Each structure stands twice: as structure tokens, then as C-alpha cells.
């Protein structure tokens, strides 16, 4: 489980840091502090139970908490062994694992306790549990949706797709579900979105998710931005622009990278040298800085849609260097196989060898890389838009939206619904990144036969 969570977790953290940090100007430390706070919660819970002890021990209470946790873990394992008459699961359980179970159980209790508390907020007071509750609702809903979607997949479709769904972990089915939702939003945006992305309404700054009495408007469920554009519609159109452009860019990067990498692997010699050194030179310059530089240069030549196309080509070329490296390495492993030697001895041409012999055997690692690369391209475009160089207004784009709505975060203390606004596009980016990673991770595992 750990591997499948690490990558999306890092991607999520990266996104949040890049996009929200700029806005809040607080820095990475704040997030580390927040993470620490969450980890401390179970101990804080114990504070009430152990208040007299804390009074005596003062600053040494942490040691007591840790000791309690250890005793809990030991007791859990011992009771488990006693009750199940030494079932192998409890019998061979290492102490660290028992500790983990107890810690997780404590955490769940704390979360449930906080959730029950979140409904007792007094009316009129700012809802300090708003983000916690929303996150929990989203987590539960998406888990249920993922499981239901997998059940659905097990029942319809051909025998092979049904089998695919049966063997699929819930994370992967969640990822697929999210990707399908994004694809539908991107393709049918004009039909789904209630308003146009560029339409400006007279009422700006409508508060989202609140009744009319408090300044909301049912016609604009997520409110409007500073100049009166509907945020829900812009989010949906943002899928079309951001995701669509990222997809085109990734496909282009793969076409360039894979062709070059396989050519280098098959022909070796000077072709390999020239291509590899060229890629080395391109990789030597930090990617984001390099693309900023090139796009700035391109902006003097193109404008509007032309600039967007220039951006696509620039990012594709820069990202194709990474694809080149991978496909060259994968290609090298395949080229040494006897069936490639057989086709060489048959007198086959380079094109046949690349596309008919090598490519079908490289699909698994390349698809996995495609997923990851897509995320990176997507984040790069969002970051560029955030900096004002990517997708140009009035087209809706999530990166630009984060930038434009950023100041609302300051309302977090007294109107969390308002503060949520910049988090919606940021969350849309994070969610897709996580979803793609879940799917890629699953595909990698399937193709490599890795076991958890």
C-alpha cells in the first residue's frame, strides 16, 4: 500500500505547496507544522484522560503518550493471540505492526470524535470545522463511489473487462472514475456548464454554498469571481482548456521522445551519441526556467492562440527529453532479445523494428510514464498560467483561477465557504494528478507482476 500512496501524496503536496503557498505567502514550514498537528491529535485526545498526570509531568508528557501507545500495541497483540488461539496473523505479528494498528485505531477515533463535534457549532459563528468536514465527506463519498463503480464494472462489459475490474484495487477504480468524469467535463463542457466561461454577470463576489439570505445565489452555486464570472462554469471549461492542452502536449512529447529513444537504441553508434548529447544539453537547463525563457521569447513573435501552440511545442520538446531517456533504456533492454536479432538477420528495416517489434513490448512502461508525464505537463501548464504566461485569458484555466481567487484565502477564519474558492481549482488539479497516479500505479503493478 505504501508505494501506491507515496507518489500521489507527494504530487498532492507539491501542487498544494506550489499553488497555495504563493497565495498565502507563508511557506513550506506552515504545512509541515499542520501535518505535525494532525499527528499530535491522538495525544491531545489522551490529554483529557490523563490531565492529572500531565500536570505532574509537564513537558515530559510525550514520553508517557508514547509509552501508552506501546503498551496498547503490546496488549492488542496479546489479546488477539489469546482470543484467536494463536492464529498465524496474530502469532507472527511484529510489534511495530501491532503499534501501527493501535495508532490507526486512535486516529480513527479522533477523526470520528471531531466529526461529531463539528455539528455542534453555534449558529452565526464561523464554522471552524468546515474544511475538516468537507474533506471527510469527500473521502467517504469517493470511496463509496469507487467501490460502486468497481461493482458496476464487474457486472457490465465483456468477460475480459469484467475480469479486469474484479482484480482491480479500489484506488484504481477511483482513478478511472475520476478520469472519466474529467473527460466528460472536458468534452461536453459547453453542454454541462450553466453559463459561458467568458460571460460577465452584473453581480460579482457571490458567496458560494450559502442560502440567499447570507449572500448566496442558487443560479451560481459556487458563486462568482471579482468581475462576475460564474466559477462553476469556469471550473468546467478549465477542464477543457487545461486538461486538453496538457493531453496534446504529452502526446507530442511522447511522439518525439519515443521515436528518438528507439532510434538511438536500434541504430546505436553516432545516431545514439548525437541524440543523447542533445538531450543532455536540454536536460541540463532547469525545465521550468527554460520553458519560461522560451515562452517569453515566443510571446514577442506570437499572440493569443499562436502563443498557446508555441507553449505546447516548447513544453513538449522539453518533456520529450525525459521520455527519450526512458524509451532509450527500455529499447536497449528489448533490442538485446533474440527476436530482434532474428529480425535484424531477416533484413528488416528500422521502421518495422521500432514500430512492430519493439513498441508492442514497451507499452507497459511507456503507458505508465505517459500517466506521470501527463501530470507533470499538466502541473507545468498550471504553474505557467499561474505566473501569467500559460493559457491566456479570457479562456478559463485552473492555474490562472488559483491566482485570481487567491486573496479569498484570507477569509478562512470567518467565512470558510469563501476561502474555499482558490482551493477548488487547486483541488481539481490535485485530484486529477492523484487519480492518474492511482491508475498508472495499478498498470505498472499489473505489467511487472509486483506484489504488495
Partner 1 sequence: MAKDSDFLVQMNDIYIEGRSDETWMPIINGVDLTLRRGEVLGLIGESGAGKSTLGLAAMGFCRDGVRISGGEVYFDGIDLLAAGASAKRNLLGKRIAYVAQSAAASFNPAHRLIDQHTEAPIRHGVMSRAESEKDGMELYQRLRLPNPDEIGFRYPHQVSGGQLQRAMTAMAMSCRPDLIIFDEPTTALDVTTQIEVLASIRDIVAQFNTAAIYITHDLAVVAQMADRIKVLLKGDEVEEADTRTMLTDPKEDYTKSLWAVRAFQRPQKPAVLSGATPVISVKNVTAAYGPVPVLNDVSFDIHEGRTVAVVGESGSGKSTAARCITGLLPPKQGSIEFEGQALPSDYRRRNRMQLRQAQMIYQMADTALNPRKTIGEIIGRPVQFYMGLTGAAKRKRVEELLDEIELPAHQYIDRLPSELSGGQKQRIGIARALAAEPKFIICDEVTSALDQLVAEGILRLLARLQDDLKLSYMFITHDLATVRSIADEVVVMKDGRVVEQGPKSEMFQPPHHAYTDLLLSSVPEMDPDWLTKLLAERGIENIGDAAVTKMS
Residues 39-58 touching partner 1, rule: CB under 8 A, are: none
Binding-site size, partner 1 (CB under 8 A): 22
Q: What mask of x and - would describe binding to partner 1 in positions 337 to 366, judged by CB under 8 A?
A: xxx-xxxxxxxx--------x--xx-----
What distance in Å separates the CA atoms of residue 145 and residue 150, rounded to the nearest whole number?
8
CB of residue 94 vs partner 1: minimum separation in angstroms?
Answer: 9
Residues 413-452 touching partner 1, rule: CB under 8 A, are: 451
CB of residue 375 vs partner 1: minimum separation in angstroms?
Answer: 27
- Choice between 92 and 212, CB closer to partner 1: 92
Phi-psi region of 25 (alpha: psi -120 to 50; beta: other; left: phi over 0): left
DSSP string, 311-333: HHHHHHHHHHHHHHHHHHHHHHH
- Choice between 150 and 403, CB closer to partner 1: 150
- Choice between 209 and 271, CB closer to partner 1: 271
What distance in Å separates the CA atoms of residue 451 and residue 307, rounded to the nearest whole number?
46
CB of residue 88 vs partner 1: minimum separation in angstroms?
Answer: 8
- Choice between 258 and 434, CB closer to partner 1: 258
What distance in Å separates the CA atoms of residue 130 and residue 341, rounded to the nearest whole number?
63
What distance in Å separates the CA atoms of residue 243 and residue 381, rounded to the nearest whole number?
9
Give the containing element (helix H, strand E) for 366. helix 359-386
What distance in Å separates the CA atoms of residue 208 and residue 224, rounded to the nearest whole number?
8
Contact 442, 171 (CB under 8 A): yes
- Choice between 69 and 364, CB closer to partner 1: 364
Interacting residue with partner 1 among 52, 58, 59, 88 (CB under 8 A) = 88
Binding flag, residue 1, partner 1 (CB under 8 A): no
Q: What is the residue whose three cell numbers read 492511482?
A: 438
CB of residue 342 vs partner 1: minimum separation in angstroms?
Answer: 7
Q: Tell me the Cα Rg of the chain.
A: 26
CB of residue 45 vs partner 1: minimum separation in angstroms?
Answer: 34
Q: Which residues bind partner 1 (CB under 8 A)?
A: 86, 88, 91-92, 163, 166-167, 337-339, 341-348, 357, 360-361, 451
Amino acid at each position: 500500500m505504501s508505494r501506491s500512496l507515496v507518489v500521489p501524496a507527494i504530487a498532492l503536496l507539491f501542487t498544494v505547496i506550489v499553488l497555495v503557498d504563493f497565495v498565502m505567502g507563508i511557506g513550506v514550514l506552515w504545512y509541515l507544522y499542520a501535518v505535525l498537528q494532525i499527528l499530535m491529535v491522538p495525544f491531545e485526545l489522551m490529554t483529557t484522560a490523563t490531565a492529572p498526570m500531565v500536570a505532574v509531568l509537564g513537558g515530559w508528557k510525550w514520553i508517557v503518550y508514547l509509552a501508552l501507545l506501546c503498551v496498547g500495541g503490546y496488549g492488542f497483540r496479546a489479546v488477539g493471540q489469546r482470543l484467536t488461539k494463536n492464529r498465524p496473523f496474530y502469532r507472527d505479528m511484529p510489534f511495530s505492526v501491532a503499534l501501527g494498528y493501535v495508532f490507526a485505531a486512535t486516529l480513527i477515533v479522533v477523526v470520528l470524535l471531531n466529526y461529531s463535534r463539528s455539528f455542534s457549532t453555534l449558529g452565526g459563528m464561523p464554522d471552524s470545522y468546515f474544511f475538516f468536514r468537507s474533506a471527510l465527506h469527500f473521502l467517504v463519498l469517493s470511496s463509496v463511489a469507487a467501490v460502486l463503480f468497481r461493482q458496476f464494472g464487474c457486472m457490465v462489459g465483456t468477460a475480459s473487462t469484467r475480469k479486469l475490474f474484479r482484480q482491480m484495487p479500489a484506488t484504481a477504480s477511483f482513478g478511472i472514475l475520476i478520469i472519466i468524469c474529467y473527460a466528460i467535463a472536458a468534452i461536453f463542457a459547453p453542454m454541462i456548464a450553466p453559463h459561458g466561461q467568458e460571460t460577465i454577470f452584473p453581480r460579482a463576489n457571490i458567496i458560494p454554498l450559502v442560502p440567499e439570505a447570507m449572500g448566496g445565489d442558487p443560479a451560481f452555486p459556487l458563486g462568482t469571481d471579482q468581475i462576475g464570472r460564474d466559477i462553476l462554469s469556469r471550473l468546467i471549461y478549465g477542464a477543457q482548456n487545461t486538461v486538453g492542452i496538457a493531453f496534446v502536449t504529452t502526446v507530442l512529447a511522447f511522439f518525439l521522445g519515443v521515436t528518438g529513444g528507439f532510434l538511438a537504441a536500434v541504430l546505436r553508434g553516432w545516431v545514439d551519441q548525437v541524440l543523447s548529447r542533445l538531450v543532455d544539453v536540454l536536460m541540463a537547463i532547469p525545465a521550468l526556467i527554460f520553458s519560461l525563457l522560451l515562452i517569453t521569447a515566443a510571446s514577442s513573435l506570437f499572440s493569443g492562440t499562436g502563443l498557446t501552440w508555441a507553449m505546447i511545442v516548447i513544453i513538449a520538446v522539453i518533456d520529450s527529453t525525459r521520455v527519450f531517456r526512458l524509451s532509450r533504456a527500455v529499447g536497449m533492454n528489448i533490442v538485446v532479445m533474440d527476436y530482434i536479432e532474428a529480425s535484424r538477420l531477416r533484413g528488416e528495416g528500422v521502421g518495422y523494428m521500432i514500430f512492430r517489434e519493439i513498441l508492442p513490448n514497451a507499452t507497459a512502461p511507456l503507458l505508465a510514464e505517459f500517466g506521470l508525464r501527463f501530470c507533470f505537463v499538466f502541473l507545468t501548464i498550471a504553474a505557467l498560467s499561474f505566473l501569467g504566461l500559460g493559457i491566456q485569458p479570457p479562456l478559463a484555466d485552473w492555474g490562472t483561477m488559483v491566482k485570481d481567487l487567491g486573496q479569498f484565502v484570507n477569509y478562512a477564519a470567518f467565512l470558510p465557504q469563501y476561502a474555499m474558492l482558490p482551493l477548488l481549482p487547486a483541488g481539481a488539479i490535485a485530484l486529477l494528478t492523484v487519480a492518474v497516479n492511482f491508475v498508472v500505479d495499478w498498470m505498472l503493478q499489473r505489467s511487472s507482476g509486483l506484489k504488495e
